[in-house]
Structure 1
Amino acid sequence: MAKQIANWGHQVDILEPERSATRITELLWESQHDAWVLKTVSGGPGLSLLEAASVAGLTTINKVSAIRKVRDKAVAAAVARHHGLPFPLTYFVSTPDLLYEVPLEHYPLVVKPANGSSCRSVYLVRDRAELAKVRGKVLGEGFLLAQPYITNPGTDIKVYAACGTLYATAQRSPLHPDAPVRDQMIALADDVAELVTEVGAVFGLDLFGVDLVEGPEGWMVVDINDFPSFRCVPDAVGRVARGVLRLAAERRVELPPVPQRPVNAQSGC
């Protein structure tokens, strides 16, 4: 995407926070960019830099407030349920041992990290015996979520949203590795499109993905991601790049004048 935007005549600078030291306190005066775009894994240092840019008054894509809501899956669950979105009942625990406090009536359970991504460490737990085995696998994953499993045929629907345009794919569920489903584009049903649009509005997202399953009570949202891979979307690079440029132009802000500061200013106590 960065190459595409550069090929269209725009200046693009790529900052890799894992490999560089950033003058984070000087972003307001040093940045001459129309927008900052975050594309990094959950829990990475990029979000801290993006939030610093936002505090400095710079345009960010997605908005920092929206990214915060979805990257912490516990917060995402609370926001979704508060706004009436179809989202599973969710338990939050700080240690694996606390999973034993989830009532048996909610089994089988889906257990996953609260800051997970890319289907990492997602487990289907059918009973307390299986929970004992999963406990060791999720040690070190930080805070955890537990949700009642939604009966489904083993297919997740992933809808990618690029600045108002939606694309749907069918994917094999990480809980059903043997399901005969391969990633492929599918037609987007009207009710699913309406639900995904509502998700974007509730969370304030522009570039995002929504994972859904069709259970006994209809469609359920099971995950929300900011800036996903857009896998299988035709001309994904061009579509997302054009969306970023449009958002940057719409939200461009005039930076304040550079303040005159002493060259050798020293900090005091």
Structure 2
Amino acid sequence: MCFIVENCYRNESMPIEVARQISQWGHEVDVLEPERSATRITELLRESRHDAWVLKTVSGGPGLSLLEAAAVAGRRTINKVSAIRKVRDKAVAAAVARRHDLPFPLTYFAATPDLLAAIPAEHYPLVVKPANGSCCRSVHLVRDHTELAEVRGRVSGEGFLLAQPYIANPGTDIKVYAAGENLYATVQRSPLHPEVHVRNQLITVPPGVAELAIKVGKAFGLDLYGVDLLEGPDGWMVVDVNDFPSFRCVPNAVARVSRSILRLAADRSRGREQPPSVSRRPAHAGTAI
């Protein structure tokens, strides 16, 4: 297997510890660091001996180009390149979600901060964030046009922007992690509610959330992914989708993700895909993987 590891993840358990774990289990693993080496991109088809390529990337990172080159060369990738691109561009993600009838907020796209002023007042308060954002970067709550002037300055330089009507919620999000056939749920504080005090922790998957998370994975074509949801007045709402998330708070996360990657690579080599199974019980340390 080949793991593409960008600089920002060189010391992170996801993916470097996963690559190490798979290697310790007797599989041959190479690590390709795109910011530290020149890659013979035109020779991937002829020279690559890897059964699968794995990438955890940041928005705009160099790894996605290499993963796509591997896919074009006929190599298996986890996740699929098309799935990663759908979730990395949050404007595209919003369109995919609505196309598949997922509960997702009304979303405006603005190429420049000044265009946010054209959004009708009826949609305030607004949540404004970058279209290529990650890790809750530069997410702002705008209560009215007066606050918009200040926020426009803060998001200047963030590239294209998204704006969505704020959905009333208790100040916490549910993050569902999916690894192959397994689902795990954690509770976390919403980036818009710093006043809420909650400890990130593994929880039982709430009723209806497992089915929704599986539907998200199918809609985007993802293998390893995370879904951020909040409970609003009309029920659960999908607010973000990530490829290859951190799996924070998931017990034995490295071993679980490693086994899932090996299963996914084997299933794909046999030409079959399996959706995650529905389970509302959180996995605990010592549970069989």
Q: SS in structure 1 opposite 2:153?
A: helix
Q: 1:207 matched to which residue of 2?
A: 224
Query: What amino acid maps onto 2:60 in structure 1?
Result: G
Q: How many positions carry a matched residue from both structures?
A: 254
| Of 157, 175, 185, the match for 1:158 | 175
Instruction: Verify: 1:179 aligned to 2:193, yes or no.
Output: no
Offset of residue 30 of structure 1? 1.4
Pair member with larger Rg:
1
| 2:71 is equivalent to residue 54 of structure 1 | yes
1:116-172 CA-to-partner distances (Å, cap 9, x unmatched) read 100001111111111111111111111100000000010000000000210000000
**Cα distance, 1:190 vs. partner?**
3.0
> RMSD between aligned alpha carbons?
1.2
Question: What does 1:85-164 correspond to in 2, within 5 Å?
Answer: 85-164=102-181
List alignment gaps of at least 5 residues for structure 1: 254-269
Code of the aligned partner of 2:58: V
Q: How far has the Cα of 1:36 moved from its partner? A: 0.4
Q: How does 1:1-269 map to 2 (within 5 A)?
A: 1-252=18-269
Identical amino acids, percent of aligned pairs: 77
Q: Does the residue aligned with 1:38 lie in a helix, a strand or coil?
A: strand
Amino acid at match of 1:142: G
Cα distance in 1 for partners of 2:124, 2:181 equals 37
Distance (whole Å) between structure 1 residues aligned to residue 195 and residue 30 of structure 2: 42
Query: Which secondary structure does the structure 2 equivalent of 1:14 belong to?
Result: strand
Cα distance in 2 for residues equivalent to 1:230 and 1:250: 22
Q: Which amino acid counterpart does residue 158 of structure 1 have in structure 2?
A: K
Secondary structure class of the residue paired with 1:251: helix
Distance 1:16 1:111 in 2: 33
Separation in 2 of the partners of 1:43 and 1:51?
13
CA apart distance, 1:24: 1.0
| Structure 1, 180-189 or 149-158: larger mean CA deviation | 180-189
1:89 Cα deviation (Å)?
0.3
What is the alpha-carbon distance in structure 1 between the residues aligned to residue 225 and residue 258 of structure 2?
14
Shift of the alpha carbon at 1:252? 2.8
For structure 1, which segment, 124-133 or 215-224, has the greater mean C-alpha deviation from structure 2 after superposition? 124-133
Tell me if the contact between 1:164 and 1:206 (Cα under 8 Å) persists in the aligned partners.
Answer: no
Paired amino acid for 1:71: R
SS of corresponding position for 1:110: strand
| Runs of 4+ off more than 3 Å | none
In structure 2, distance between residues paired with 1:20 and 1:120: 29
Cα distance in 1 between the residues matched to 2:35 and 2:121: 43
Query: Which TM-score applies when normalising by structure 1?
Result: 0.93
Displacement of 1:65 in angstroms is 1.0
Unaligned runs of 5+ in 2: 1-17, 271-289
Partners of 1:70 and 1:133 lie apart in 2 by 28
Distance 1:223 1:140 in 2: 22
Name the CA distance, whole Å, in 1 between partners of 2:60 and 2:216.
22
Contact between 1:107 and 1:149, CA under 8 Å: does it hold in 2?
yes
CA distance in 2, matches of 1:244, 1:9: 14
What is the identity, as a one-letter code, of the residue corresponding to 1:18? E
Displacement of 1:20 = 1.4
How much does 1:82 deviate? 1.2
Query: Which digits, 9 at most, give the CA deviation of each residue in 1:67-125, with x for residues without a partner?
Result: 11111000000010111100000000110000101111000000001011000011111
- Give the partner amino acid of 2:211: E
